[in-house]
Amino acid sequence: MHRKVFAKTAAAFICAWSAAVAHAAEGGPNVPTATPGAATSATVLSTQPPRATSAAIPLFSSLKPGGELAGWTFQPLRGVRKTTQYAALNDSETQRVVIEGKAQSAAAALGVRLDLDPKQTHQLRWQWKVGNLIESSDPRTKDGDDYAARVYVTFATDPSRSTFRERAENAVFKSLYGEVPPRAALAYVFTHKAKLGDVIASPFTARVKKIVVDADPGSVGKWKSFERDVYADYKRAFGDEPTRISGIAIMVDTDNTGETASAKFGDISLTEK
């Protein structure tokens, strides 16, 4: 597989698992370094089931402004010189602690590792406030594949359900980085370059489908609340049954367009109802 495809594929799968696996990016594994405001326990990501599982997603509102992002993993991308900066801060409008992500020709994600049954734990809720539009973005092209705000949900690889191509890709990834990527990922995105409700295949990999949950340029600067049925969205996007949920992540990135973007994120929950 072409290294550039591997790079962005891995980026799409960034959903903060805590076990070690190298990040596929521009020809080599990524060795994370401490980033101001990011969790000090940042590690490269794994797609394997965690040793200890929990349905609890650490709440941003429980963090201290300016402090460590406890419970979350920061993941930079090798080959991208600048990293998105994430920090906990008090939001004057909501009167709660939120996470703000800022990117300037940058990319990185913040996530948490999970192991959940998507049939039982499928109701995803979150809030975000987009700071600006990315004018040259285009969700259908590689050069425009940047977003001011997105939330990823990844689904674990199941060898019994992998196609020949997926098995080949997984074998290459495992030989290089020690573990395999998720089978699939949903990315809930804000973009003014598509229609609300559009399901868009990633221009880098068939394993990622993007769902446009907000396409209104008027949303910039406003807190918006979202609620999605992850199980139903997966079946709509991929046309089959999902495997187990393996992670959740947020991401603000502008590494392809070279623009500047920011967004604030409120608490994320994944529950039965």
Q: What pLDDT is attached to residue 177?
A: 66
Domain ranges of the chain: 3-271
What pairs with residue 262 in β-bridges?
102
* Whole-number pLDDT of residue 181: 77
> Cα dist. 165→169, 172, 186 in Å?
6, 11, 20
If you compute the radius of gyration of the chain from its CA atoms, what whole number of angstroms results?
Answer: 17
Dihedral over Cα of 267, 268, 270, 273: its sign: positive
What pLDDT does residue 18 have?
Answer: 25
Both structure tokens of 62: 């429980």
Q: Name the region of 206 (left: φ>0; alpha: ψ -120 to 50; beta: rest).
A: alpha
Q: What is the pLDDT along the chain (273 residues), one digit of tens a residue?
A: 344 444 444 444 433 332 222 223 222 223 233 333 333 222 223 333 333 333 589 999 999 999 999 999 998 876 788 999 999 999 999 999 999 999 999 999 999 989 999 999 999 999 999 999 999 999 999 999 999 999 999 999 877 777 777 778 778 877 776 777 788 999 999 999 999 999 999 998 888 999 999 999 999 999 999 999 999 999 999 999 999 999 999 999 999 999 999 999 999 999 998
Q: In the structure encoding, which two tokens stand for residue 260, read together?
A: 């500047």
pTM check: above 0.75: yes
Q: Are 54 and 17 in contact (CB under 8 A)?
A: no
For the chain, the three-class secondary structure string (H helix, E strand, C coil) is CCHHHHHHHHHHCCCCCCCCCCCCECCECCCCCCCCCCCCCCCCCCCCCCCCCCCCCCCHHHCCCCCCCCCCEEEECCCCCECCEEEEEEECCCCEEEEEEEEECECEEEEEEEEECCCCCCEEEEEEEECCCCCCCCCCCCCCCCEEEEEEEEECCCHHHCCHHHHHHHHHHHHHHCCCCCCEEEEEEECCCCCCCCEEECCCCCCEEEEEEECCHHHCCCEEEEEEEHHHHHHHHHCCCCCCEEEEEEEEECCCCCCEEEEEECCCEEECC
According to the CATH classification, is domain 3-271 in 1.10.287.70? no
pLDDT of residue 58: 94
What pLDDT score was predicted for residue 183?
85
